[in-house]
Structure 1
Amino acid sequence: MGWTRAGRRGTGVLLGCGTGIAGLLYLAVAGAALGPFLLRPRSRPRARAALTAGARRIAALDRRRRTGCFGDRFPLHYEPGDGEVLRYVSTRAYAGTVTAVTLALVGFGVVLAAVFAAALVGGRVGPAELLWQVLLGGALLFLGVQGLRSLYALDARLARDTFGPSERELLRRRIDELATSRAAVVHAVDAERRRIERDLHDGLQQRLVALAMLLGRARRPGRTPEQAEALLRQAHEESQGVLAELREVAWRVYPSALDGPGLREALGGVAERSPVPLRLTYEVPGPLPQLVETAAYFVVSEAVTNAAKHACATGVEARLALKGGVLTVSVRDDGAGGADPAGAGLSGLRGRVEALDGRLRVDSPSGGPTTVTAELPCA
C-alpha cells in the first residue's frame, strides 16, 4: 500500500513537471500573440478573457492531477477567479519547470555516482578524490532533496489556495467553528440567565415588596375605612403592574406566540409593546424551524430594545425574507448609531445566530443609522 501511494505521488510530481512546462509554453506563446491587444484598453478585456480561457484548461488538468495522484478533494462548486487562475498557472509554470530541472540534475548526479562507483571498484580513484567527491555529491544531493521537498509543498499550497480547501481542511475549520459557537452559546445562555435574574430581582421583587407593604398598612389597626380602601386601591393597582411586568419578563424569556400562531404574531406583539413605532415587513411564505423562529424573534426584539433604549430612535423598520433556504432578518433604526458589536446584547445575539450556522452583521456608524442583519439557514 505504501509503495502504491508513493508511486502515485511520484507520478503526480512528474505530471506536474509536464503541466508546468506546458503552462510556461502557453504563457510564452499566448502572451506574445495577445500582448499587443493586452496593452490597448479597448481590446484588453477580450484578450484577457482569451488568455484566461486557455489557462483554465491547464488549471483543470492540474486539479485532476492533484485529485488522482495525491487524493486531494476540493469543493465541487468552487470556481476561482480569473486573476487566481492566471496567478496559479504562472506560478506553476515556474515551479514545474524548476522541479523538472532539479529532477534532471538529480538523475544526472545518480549517473555520475554510478560512473564514480565503477571507477572506485576499478581502483582508478584515490583517497583524496574519493573524500572530495563524497562531500560534494552529498551536499548537492541534500540541496536537491530539500529543493524538491519545498517545490512539493509549494505545489500543494498553490492547489489548496486556488481550488479551495481540501476535505480535511474543511473538517478542521468546521471543528473550530463548532467549538467557537459552543462557547458563544454557553456565554449567551449565562448572560440570559443573569438578565432574567436581574429583571426578577430589580423589578418584580421590589414591586412585590411594595405590594406587601401596602397590604400590611391596610391591615394595621386604627385605619379608617377610607384610609384602608385607599391603600387597598393602591395595592390593587400595584398588583396589576406586577402582573404586567411578569408577563413582560416571561415574553422576553420565550414568547408563547411562537408555540401557537407563529413568528409573525410574536413579532406583532413586539411591535405593540415597542416604545418606538415599528414597521414590519414579513416575506416568509411558510412555517420555519422552531429554532430559527426563536432566533429571528430575539434578533428583532433585541434590536428594537437597543434602538429605543440606547440610540434614541424615532422609528424602526424590520424586514424578514426567505430566499434560497436562508432567512434574512434586517432591522434598521434612525437613531444615533455607534452601537458596539462586542456589547453584551449584540454578543448574545451573535452567539445565538452562529449556533445555527448563521451570520450576524452590525452596521452602526456614528450618527446612524444602525442596521442589524442576521442570516439564518433553514435547512
Structure 2
Amino acid sequence: MTVRLTRRAFVGAAVAAPAVAALPISLQSVGAQDAGFTVTMVTDTAGLGDQNFNDLANAGGTQAAEDFGIEWKVLESVDIPAYVPNLTAGVEQGPLTVAVGFLLTDAVAQVAAQYPDAHFAIIDAAVEADNVQSVLYREQEAAFLGGVAAGLMTQTNKLGIIGGQRIPPVIRYEVGFRAGVEAVNPDAEIVIAYADDFGDPDKGKELALAQFADGADILFPIAGLTGVGAYSAISELNNPGEQWVIGVDVTQEHNAPGFEAFVVRKGVDTGVYQAIEQEVNGTFTAGVHSLGIAEGGVGFEDPNGRVPAEIMTEVETFQSMILDGSLVAPSTDEEYEVFEVPAAG
C-alpha cells in the first residue's frame, strides 16, 4: 500500500497480521550458569538477526547478564501462536520475562494474569497489570528531529517512509517525522508504503526501489528487518550523495556504507537493561515507563557527520523546544491534524 502526502493530506494504511506457520521455539542463552536467577526475553516474529528491534533488546539483556551475573535466555517466536507458550516458558525459567514488541500485548496480558507473582516487562506496549512494566518510547520526538533534517536535506523535495505494520509505535515514528518535515519544508511530498510485515527485507527492498524511482531521495524505514531492504536497494542503485536512508532505532551503516544520512535512535536496549537492573535490585515497578529525549530513550544522531552544520543548528533548536516543553511532537493521527509549530522566541 502506498500513500502520497503533502501537508495535511492523510490516508490510513491497512494493517495485516503476519502469516501463521508452525510452532517451533528457538532458544539462546548467555550469562553465568550459576546465577541467582534467569531473565528470559521473548522476541516478536521477526526474531533475532533483524539488525534492529529484537537485536537491540538482546544487546541490552546481554549487557545486563555481564554486569549483574544473571542468566539471559532468548526465546524466538517464529509465529504469533508461539507468544503464549514462550512467555509461559519464560515464567518457568525465572522471575522476569521481557516481551519485545507491541504485537505481544494480548499474550502478555493473558500470561501475566495467569502468573500474578511473576514479573513482566513489555517493550512498546502498555498492559495494565500489577506485575507488568510497560516500557514506552516517545519515538515522535526523535522522528520529528529526523523530519526536520530530512526536510532540509532533500534535493528532490520528495521523501519516502516505509513502514512494517501501522501499530502505535510505528505511527508515532510516522507522524512525528511528517510533522518535522512540515515544520521546515511544508511543500515537500512524502510517499508512504506499508509492507504489513516486519520480517521481509525483500519486500522492503521492493518498496524502497519504487520510492527511489518515484523521485524520493531520502527514505525513513520504520519496519524492522523489512527496513533492511532499503539498504539493499540504495546499495544497488549506488548514487552516493544523491540518495539516502535514515537509520532507525540504531545505525545500520554497515549495510550500505556511505548511504546512511543520520540515525533516529531508540534505546530498546536501555529499556531492557533498566528493567533487569530493577529486578536485580528489588526495585521492579509496574506501570508505564515513558522514555523520550529527556530520559535518553530516543534521540537524533549524526555519527558520520553527514548533516550540514546549518541543518544541525536547526535540529538542535527544535530539540531545545522539545526539551523545554514549548513543542510537543504529535504522536497520533489526530494530534498531527491539529499540530502547529510554535512561534520562535
| Structure exhibiting the larger radius of gyration computed from Cα positions | 1
Structure with the bigger percentage of helix: 1
The structure with higher relative contact order (CA 8 Å, sep 6+) is: 2
Which interval holds the TM-score relative to the shorter structure? under 0.3
Structure with the bigger percentage of strand: 2
TM-score normalized by structure 1? 0.22
